């Protein structure tokens, strides 16, 4: 199939919306990552997404809306807590899991009786949904298992020839996927950490949220049963070997240097990712960095762990998966030179 590359003109958004209405699939920018969209209420259209991504069909998709009125079309039993959260964070990078309405095909929700809904803040995404006159089901626009694309060229790398069109928008502002919050039981549960943090959520509601336990379990362990189907699949794996060095002592730099020197002596191409404690920057560039290192045929990637707090926790959730949980813990060293 020939993939149309559409610049972000009004005309082109209309062309993309026509494709969605006709049951086609279009990749488009959002503030988090690029999505691969189809009419959420058309099961033939949404099943094309699984095919284009090579994605297991039990992995449900997020349904994107542009106005709050569209929520009643697809979800029911919307609690006061849900309304407060929507008021506080929508449009924006947070997805709520709610009871689904009959009209949402089970192909879209991977057979679940719940539906994940998000109202993105990105203007192009909102315009596309509005023009399409239907909610848009969209997972991230990558081949299953690869890092989510955060710019149009990275989308084309995976999707050229596999989708009807790509809207060639700007680089995504956030760079990691939305927070997924399950609101179907009394306690809100974070199924996937994202840009909106637990601390921010807990500030606006009376009930304290919890993290899904599986977020703290290595997926290779047998008691790993995430509530969000997507969290169980292999994710974001680069071609290179990837090691994370963790600890808060000055020993980290020494360990990274030793790892680098040893691998380089063996003739390997090594790249160290430095984010310091800048979790905003890490979120924005990590996925693009992984894709670049794949293209550069790097053999070993080394990165220091970020503090697993707030947005840092969300970035580390992705980083640990990409590294296949290959983590080296450095004991804190006493630095006698500081008096």
* Number of residues lying near Mg ion (CB under 5 A): 1
Pick between residue 138 and residue 300 the one whose CB is nearest to ligand TXA: 138
Transcribe 25-93 into DSSP letters: -EEE--SSS-EEEEETT-HHHHHHHHHHHT--TTS--EEE-SSGGGHHHHEE---HHHHHHHHHH-SSS
Q: What is the distance between the alpha carbons of residues 294 and 271, in angstroms, rounded to a whole number?
A: 11
Looking at residue 267, what DSSP letter applies? T
Under the criterion CB under 6 A, does residue 135 sit at the interface with ligand TXA? no
Q: In this chain, which stretch among 6-14, 138-146, 197-205, 276-284 interacts with ligand TXA, using CB under 6 A?
A: 138-146
Pick between residue 192 and residue 243 the one whose CB is nearest to ligand TXA: 192
Q: What is the distance between the alpha carbons of residues 234 and 110, in angstroms, rounded to a whole number?
A: 17
- Beta pairing class for 75-76 and 62-64: unpaired
Q: In this chain, which stretch among 9-17, 108-116, 149-157, 314-322 interacts with ligand TXA, using CB under 6 A?
A: 108-116
Given Mg ion, ligand TXA, none, residue 17, with its beta carbon under 5 to 8 Å by kind, binds none
Q: What is the distance between the alpha carbons of residues 30 and 122, in angstroms, rounded to a whole number?
A: 5
Q: In this chain, which stretch among 112-120, 200-208, 247-255, 306-314 interacts with ligand TXA, using CB under 6 A?
A: 112-120
The end-to-end CA distance of the chain, in Å, is 67
* Least distance in angstroms from the C-beta of 144 to Mg ion: 8
Comparing CA positions, the residue from 93, 104, 181, 74 lying closest to residue 140 is 93
Is 205:86 a contact under the CB 8 Å cutoff? no
Under the criterion CB under 6 A, does residue 192 sit at the interface with ligand TXA? yes
* Least distance in angstroms from the C-beta of 100 to ligand TXA: 7
Under the criterion CB under 6 A, does residue 151 sit at the interface with ligand TXA? no
Q: From the list 46, 114, 144, 209, which residue makes contact with ligand TXA (rule: CB under 6 A)? A: 114
Pick between residue 145 and residue 207 the one whose CB is nearest to ligand TXA: 145
Return the half-sphere exposure (C-beta side, CA atoms, 13 A cut-off) of residue 177. 25
Pick between residue 147 and residue 330 the one whose CB is nearest to Mg ion: 147
Pick between residue 56 and residue 111 the one whose CB is nearest to Mg ion: 56
Secondary element (H or E) of residue 22 = none
Is 134:17 a contact under the CB 8 Å cutoff? no
- Binding string to ligand TXA for residues 21 to 60, with x set by CB under 6 A, is what? ---------x-xx-x-----------------------xx
Burial of 226 (0-12, 13-18, 19+ CB in 10 A): middle
Is 284:150 a contact under the CB 8 Å cutoff? yes
Is 142:53 a contact under the CB 8 Å cutoff? yes
In the window 273-312, what residues touch ligand TXA (CB under 6 A)? none
In the window 137-156, what residues touch Mg ion (CB under 5 A)? 140
- Binding string to Mg ion for residues 179 to 218, with x set by CB under 5 A, is what? ----------------------------------------
Q: In this chain, which stretch among 132-140, 155-163, 187-195, 215-223 interacts with Mg ion, using CB under 5 A?
A: 132-140
Q: Please provide residue 98's backbone torsions phi and psi, each rounded to the nearest 5 degrees.
A: -130, 170
Interface contacts to ligand TXA, rule CB under 6 A: 30, 32-33, 35, 59-62, 95, 97, 109, 112, 114-116, 118, 138-140, 177-178, 180, 191-192, 228-231
- Point out which residues bind Mg ion (CB under 5 A): 140
């Amino acid at each position: 199939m020939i993939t149309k590359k559409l610049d972000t003109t009004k005309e082109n958004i209309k062309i993309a919306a026509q494709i969605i209405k006709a049951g086609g699939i279009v990749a488009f920018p959002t503030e988090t990552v690029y999505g691969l969209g189809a009419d959420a209420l058309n099961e033939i259209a949404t099943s094309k997404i699984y095919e284009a991504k090579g994605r297991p069909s039990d992995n449900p998709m997020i349904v994107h809306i542009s106005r709050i009125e569209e929520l009643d079309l697809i979800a029911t039993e919307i609690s006061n807590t849900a309304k407060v959260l929507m008021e506080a964070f929508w449009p924006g990078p947070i997805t709520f899991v709610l009871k689904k309405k009959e009209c949402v095909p089970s192909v879209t929700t991977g057979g679940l009786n719940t539906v994940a809904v998000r109202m993105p803040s990105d203007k192009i995404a909102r315009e596309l949904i509005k023009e399409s006159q239907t909610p848009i089901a969209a997972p991230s626009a990558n081949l299953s298992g690869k890092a989510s694309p955060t710019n149009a060229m990275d989308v084309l790398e995976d999707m050229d020839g596999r989708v009807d069109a790509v809207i060639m928008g700007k680089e995504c502002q956030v760079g990691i996927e939305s927070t997924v919050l399950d609101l179907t039981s009394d306690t809100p549960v974070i199924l996937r950490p994202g840009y909106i943090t637990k601390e921010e959520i807990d500030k606006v509601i009376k009930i304290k949220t919890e993290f899904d336990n599986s977020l703290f379990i290595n997926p290779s362990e047998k008691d790993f049963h995430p509530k969000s189907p997507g969290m169980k699949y292999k994710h974001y794996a680069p071609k290179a070997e990837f090691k994370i060095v963790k600890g808060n002592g000055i020993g980290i730099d020494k360990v990274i240097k030793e790892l680098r020197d040893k691998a380089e002596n063996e003739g390997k191409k090594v790249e160290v990712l430095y984010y310091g404690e800048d979790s905003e920057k890490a979120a924005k560039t990590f996925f693009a960095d992984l894709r670049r290192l794949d293209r550069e045929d790097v053999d070993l990637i080394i990165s220091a762990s970020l503090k697993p707090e707030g947005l840092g926790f969300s970035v580390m959730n992705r980083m640990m998966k990409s590294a296949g949980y290959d983590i080296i813990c450095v004991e804190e060293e006493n630095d006698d030179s500081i008096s």
